[in-house]
Amino acid sequence: MPSRPQTVELDLPFERALPDRLRPMLPMAAAAPFDSADYAFDVAWDGVRALASVDRGRVGIWGRTLLDLTGRYPEVQVLADLLPPETIVDGELIVTDPEGRPDSVALARRQQAARPEAVARVAAAHPVTYVVHDLLYLRGRSWLKEPLVRRRPRLNDLLQSSGRIYVVEPVADDGLAFFDAAREKGLEGVIAKRFDSPYRAGQRHPDWLLIEAVRHQDFVVIGFIPEAGDRLLEALIVATYDGRTLHPAGRVVGGFDNATSSALRKALDGLAGGSAPDDPRWMDDRICWVQPKIVVAVKFSEWDLKGQLRFPIFSGLRPEVAPEECARTTMVEPPLRSRPRLVEIQLPRLPF
């Protein structure tokens, strides 16, 4: 982090009521990795985005759609003993493999567990780690307007990594090397955040840039082609949303195993009655059109000139994302590149 002037904070007892819930700030996609002294570079963990509050001795957790996640992730309750009261932090829930890398299959199993007995059973097999990367409220005072260069050091003063809580340590300047290190470790990519950026709750803003090792995006499912051979699904028909209209983006034919196919088919069969798009490219009697309620993550190589995905692969279910959020992302040109250097990414070493 760059040097900063010393400040003295007065903890005055005014306006201590926390907001009920906040939506997280989201990044825009960058066209390429870059170096810059104006940015902090973090790992893109590709987990479940979750904000956590400590209020009156209780920890509450919620996701991007403001859905209450408190009962599903009991590991995060330890924050009640680690953070001051009336505090809100932003972070991400991940399940890691033995090397500390995110395990999307195990995370999907955690997301599917809702009943207390199911949560207890799957938590024992696949415990989550809460990766904390921002401070939004402290002792009832909002830090949203403070720049990242002040929020991050204050967070690190308050909270250290321990057990199932992992506090990120961003890299400054070396974005190209950090991206190469992330790709080498099989991670999704990196997020670059301007040091002078405030926290814009509920907004997707170019002050935060996502640089992906493999392109992926969230799409809403609008149809499917039923079983091929012993599989319950041959393909998913996915679409983006522009605020008014759904735009079909392609057929996703790979990436789901038998268990995922079974869960998807069961959910999709309950959503029959969707409308077919007014486009001759989608006149196929095999397609079952469904209501646009399910969101999935899809990896792909690029968009073609007709607005369709090239080589799309199913990457996971995204129950924490609303269908209305599935807009086609605009690529942001990064600052000028500079000569790369080597850095090392430290993955969380956690108890198993």
Domain identity same for 208 and 62: yes
Tokens linked to 336? 């000028």
Shared domain check, 280 and 163: no
- Domain encompassing residue 181: 26-212
Statement to judge: residues 139 and 169 lie in one domain = yes
Q: Give the predicted TM-score (pTM) of the model.
A: 0.78
Output the CA torsion 281→245→307→277 (10° steps).
-10
**What is the residue-averaged pLDDT of the chain?**
87
Examine the pLDDT at 4 and tell me if it is beyond 90.
no
How many residues in the chain?
A: 352
Lowest average pLDDT, out of 40-54, 81-95, 97-111, 139-153, goes to: 97-111
Instruction: List the single range of 22-31, 144-153, 257-266 with lowest mean pLDDT.
Output: 257-266
Q: How far is CA 243 from CA 63, 95, 305, 326, in A?
A: 21, 33, 22, 9
Decide if pLDDT at 268 tops 50: yes
More confident residue, 77 or 98: 77
Q: Which of 212, 233, 257 is the last residue of a domain?
A: 212
Last residue of a domain, one of 187, 212, 237: 212
343 part of a folded domain: no
Number of domains in the chain: 2
Q: How confident is the model at residue 203 (pLDDT cuts 50, 70, 90)?
A: very high
The per-residue pLDDT for range 80-124, each reduced to its tens digit, is 999 999 999 999 999 998 888 888 888 988 988 889 999 999 999
Residue 226: φ, ψ to 5°: -65, -175
174 and 280 assigned to the same domain? no
pLDDT tens across 275-330, in order? 898 888 888 889 999 999 999 999 888 888 888 998 899 988 898 899 999 998 87
